[in-house]
Structure 1
């Protein structure tokens, strides 16, 4: 997001510059005889010239007090007019001139653009105009010049105010159209997600469930040990596929921005491992809420795969599970000690042998890394580093 133009970020500096410029400009034009300056200036003329410069410097507060600035410059002009006629204290070099300083132009601009009460601003500008054009001393040159000074500013103020309102209206309309477009896109995305979830549930889940049931029936009825082992592998793989499909269907049915269903409780995994003879200990450091749902699901699969491998290949070992959460990443480390016995042949041979490879692919999808190998001092260690946040739906820009 840009900070905006310099002049909009420093309005006071702009007002100071404008006030100083008009103070010097009015002082110069007055000394050149283009205003009320007499042919033989006295002390009064120099005092009035200083007062005029001070009145021009009130433009510094034209944004905060536009009517006050108008009153100061109008009052100065009225005093000058009364000193010239009827008092006759000051005699200008030329009669057909406007006694008001040029600073009246930006002063007349401010009430309509920065003021809140437009009626009061118009009334003040009308009185200001009367003081400048001096209708009690009719002069075409003075009237035309005075009207130009008091009309240019308000006309510019009305134009810029209307332009600002039009820009704000168009911006609001564009933002509203963008919000509506985003809502329509979200609705279409939600409908498509629901349709995909329904198809996966009706077709894929049903077929895989049938395969699991048939594999289970084959395992029970067959007398061949190798067939029974193969059927059990098929049944176990099918059950795992069903679990993952339920997870995916749950994600698809969850509207973007809502919390997807939990991937599971790490404490439950550790308790299950301990219950079947592989003692495990869990240490969680940090706030689990820092991890997005897809990261928590991936971490759950890392822990589950590591505990499963420890039960298969390292009987009698102890497993330490450590999960660290921070703002940028989630680190999972599962380490088992060296086994105290030999793995059972039937148990070690189950599975496809691609658990770590499939897990690595899943982790790479979320831009994470996985290391698996022998641990120092014996045993085996699985370590994964995942980003803390991985979006599950495209974010509208």
Structure 2
């Protein structure tokens, strides 16, 4: 979040830094005009115009510090020459305490040291201005003191400001570097946690489900009646599908922990295309949305399914995620909006899959016990599942009393295949 007040203060401070010195010189010149009146000869007007022009040039001392300091130095040289070649033109030669450098000198030389201290010309110009201001060939305590105040002191102040600016920049860079390192450490910790979670899921869940599948397969072979064999086959198929989905989820966890930008090889992409409807390259079965629609219609929930595009664009992981989104949405409709007309619209694109599940106002009375069942975190878990594959999920109520679930998923999500022995629940 940007600190607007701080940004405005920095803008005003920069404006004052640019305009303040010029205004200071112009105010001094105005005070002199008010005190002594306007010049009555060409020499006086020439000096006033030179001083005013160099004062206005201070507006650019940050953007063109060397150019402004060079102009001020040339003005000082002109004032020095005028004392001997054209007395009274730019300097009153009768005034022994008069400064032979422009009023803009301290601001110009300090700006040059601050913004161009690494340039050799800066120090040459500062030396020339100091020499002219102190006039060592005509020693005078007052002249030397005033000259040092006009040149040497601003140089020291500019050096201090430049060192302070470099120190602040170094501390800022160090803080930003530390913050970036902290973000990298946090990302690494999250990646390691994903890997640990994937390992735990594999070790705990896969083993038990594999045993359940094996036991169901054995029951199907040894069951004495057809009804039991059919139930065992359904149980075995459900267990196999759970293992496939768990494998894909673990692959997503591990690939996200390793490299989110992993690119599939051409062979992998080709095998995905060749998998055909309802299947994937590894033989896993991608669940069909039509089955969910049929299940909902069998319990009295009318659902209109519309699919646009080619489903082959979606990888198995994305297809299963879309399946889970529709499954959760239809479950919520059955629980919270019984009898509501529901529409499922899926659009398959080359780079993304967009699906929308919307329902109207419920037409049947709500079952309180059914509505109160569940943990209440279905949408939260669904959003986390969608974000896990790099998608977005939005849920919003409609003005007519209905509800809309809108999800956008990438068409392809790379996964890290599990070892062969892990696929069998070893």
Same fold (TM over 0.5): yes
- CA deviation map 1:312-341 (0-9, x unaligned): xxxxxxxx9741379999324699xxxxxx
* Residue 385 (1) aligns with residue 405 (2): yes
CA distance, structure 1, for counterparts of residue 203 and residue 18 of structure 2: 71
1:27 deviates by 4.3
Which of 256, 260, 277 pairs up with 1:268? Answer: 277
Alpha-carbon spacing, 1:386–1:259, altered in 2? closer, same or farther (3 Å): farther
C-alpha contact (below 8 Å) 2:289/2:323 kept by paired residues: no
* Residue 284 (1) aligns with residue 309 (2): yes
- CA deviation map 1:101-160 (0-9, x unaligned): 332111111221222643221111001111112222221111111101112322222112
CA distance, structure 2, for counterparts of residue 294 and residue 168 of structure 1: 47
1:6 deviates by 4.1
Alpha-carbon spacing, 1:32–1:73, altered in 2? closer, same or farther (3 Å): farther
C-alpha contact (below 8 Å) 1:15/1:60 kept by paired residues: yes
Aligned to 1:146: 147
1:249 deviates by 1.4
Aligned to 1:26: 29
CA distance, structure 2, for counterparts of residue 333 and residue 118 of structure 1: 67
Aligned to 1:67: 66
* Residue 192 (1) aligns with residue 215 (2): no
Q: Out of 236-245 and 21-30, give the one that drifted further.
A: 21-30
- CA deviation map 1:196-237 (0-9, x unaligned): 322322332122111111112212221234433432342233
CA distance, structure 2, for counterparts of residue 53 and residue 75 of structure 1: 15
RMSD between aligned residues: 4.8
C-alpha contact (below 8 Å) 1:284/1:322 kept by paired residues: no
> Helix, strand or coil for the counterpart of 1:161?
helix
C-alpha contact (below 8 Å) 1:27/1:49 kept by paired residues: no
- CA deviation map 1:59-89 (0-9, x unaligned): 1222343233223323333433444457544
Aligned to 1:134: 135
CA distance, structure 2, for counterparts of residue 273 and residue 141 of structure 1: 97
Alpha-carbon spacing, 1:306–1:282, altered in 2? closer, same or farther (3 Å): farther
CA distance, structure 2, for counterparts of residue 75 and residue 329 of structure 1: 70
Q: Using structure 2 for the length normalisation, give the TM-score.
A: 0.63
CA distance, structure 2, for counterparts of residue 324 and residue 249 of structure 1: 26
Aligned to 2:229: 228
Gaps of 5+ in 2: 280-285, 295-304, 331-342, 360-369, 384-392, 397-402, 414-426
Aligned to 1:112: 113
Q: Using structure 1 for the length normalisation, give the TM-score.
A: 0.67
Aligned to 1:156: 157
Alpha-carbon spacing, 1:273–1:22, altered in 2? closer, same or farther (3 Å): closer
C-alpha contact (below 8 Å) 1:299/1:332 kept by paired residues: no
CA distance, structure 2, for counterparts of residue 267 and residue 321 of structure 1: 23
C-alpha contact (below 8 Å) 2:54/2:102 kept by paired residues: no
1:175 deviates by 2.4
C-alpha contact (below 8 Å) 2:355/2:408 kept by paired residues: no
Gaps of 5+ in 1: 308-319, 336-353, 372-382, 393-397
- CA deviation map 1:152-204 (0-9, x unaligned): 32222211211121122222222222233333333333333223322322332
> Helix, strand or coil for the counterpart of 2:112?
helix
1:294 deviates by 8.1
> Helix, strand or coil for the counterpart of 1:323?
strand
Equivalent residues in 2 for 1:1-397, closer than 5 Å? 1-2=2-3, 5-6=7-8, 9=11, 14-29=17-32, 32=35, 42-85=41-84, 87-89=86-88, 91=92, 94-115=95-116, 117-256=118-257, 258=260, 268-269=277-278, 282-284=307-309, 297-302=320-325, 322-324=345-347, 330-332=354-356, 362-367=378-383, 385-388=405-408
Q: Out of 215-224 and 172-181, give the one that drifted further.
A: 172-181
Aligned residues: 337
